[in-house]
Amino acid sequence: MNDAIPLLDGLDGIRLPAVGFGTYTLTGQKGSDVAVAATANGYRLLDSAARYGNEGAMGAAVRRSAVPRDELILTSKLPGAAQHYDDAIATIEESVFRTGLDHLDLYLIHWPNPGDDLYVEAWTALIEARRRGLVRWIGVCNFLPEHLDRLQAETGVLPAVNQIEMHPYFPQTEQRAYHEATGILTEAWSPLGRGNEMMADPVITAIAAAHEVSPAQVILRWQVQNGAIPLPKAASPERQRENLDLFGFALDDTEVAAITGLGRADGRIQDQDPATYTEY
């Protein structure tokens, strides 16, 4: 692993770097090249998904990277249309085939889709895929505490990771407290808010000026200090390096609280509430 990035330990022996690399929209040769550059710039965790259409590109990046395979963690995700057990197994197998690797390191259920009531069935497929060595660790995305409680009650297995929307306008305080209490690692998708007004928020910019860093670095550092693993995406090498340069400064408790205080009741980027949202 990159010694400059702290590691977080969790359930089932999982160990993840404190910052990962988001790959949404990074496809084809260009996307693969960006991911290879990211590994050269220090990233060791690449986050892909079947829905992103880039498992092949990210698998190629892992194979092409100068970083040893056992130091890279490639993630993919099960789409909502494949939550029946047999469909899930076949989809996981296809995910592995597309990467050109012999296994995936982390595999997640992309959304619970509670209206379909298949997420426990899908979870049993992930447990089987782990048993077969198709994947090393298993987890979920966007699961609420009631979904996680049900997984544990019906299978006896908690996810190692729950990847959730998290940023200053949606700080997920209660969800993160549940994760901390149960040992689940929190990953943050859209950690920078997909370019919304957050980056120009006066609270963020004032703290950035005080530390002589960028607003993005302040937001990412806030997530790290809250125990989450942000997954920023950046195409340029300069931005990639900047988004990893988070460990030479620290926010004080007042600054952390001020950023958390930016949370809004309507803070979700696209109003995707896991209690009702369905993703296929």
127-170: per-residue pLDDT in tens?
Answer: 999 999 999 999 999 999 999 999 999 999 999 999 999 999 99
Domain of residue 210, CATH code: 3.20.20.100
Q: What is the CA radius of gyration of the chain?
A: 18
Active site residue 119: no
Total domain count, the chain: 1
Residue 9 placed within a domain: no
Residue 271 placed within a domain: no
pLDDT tens for 18-33 read 999 999 999 999 999 9
Residue 278 placed within a domain: no
Place of tokens 């990893």: 244
User: Residue 6: pLDDT band by 50, 70, 90 thresholds?
Assistant: very high
Residue 270 placed within a domain: no
pLDDT tens for 61-94 read 999 999 999 999 999 999 999 999 999 999 999 9
Tokens standing for 75? 């993630």
pLDDT value at position 194?
A: 73
**pLDDT at 1 exceeding the cut of 60:** no
pLDDT tens for 36-54 read 999 999 999 999 999 999 9
Residue 276 placed within a domain: no
pTM, entire model: 0.97
**pLDDT at 3 exceeding the cut of 70:** no
Question: Which of the following is catalytic: 24, 52, 119, 169?
Answer: 52
pLDDT value at position 4?
A: 83
Longest dimension (CA), the chain: 54
Question: What is the extent of the structural domain holding 21?
Answer: 16-260
Residue 249 placed within a domain: yes
Q: Among the listed ranges 46-60, 108-122, 142-156, 183-197, which one has the minimum average pLDDT value?
A: 183-197
Residue 267 placed within a domain: no
- Give the bridge partners for 165, in sequence order: 189
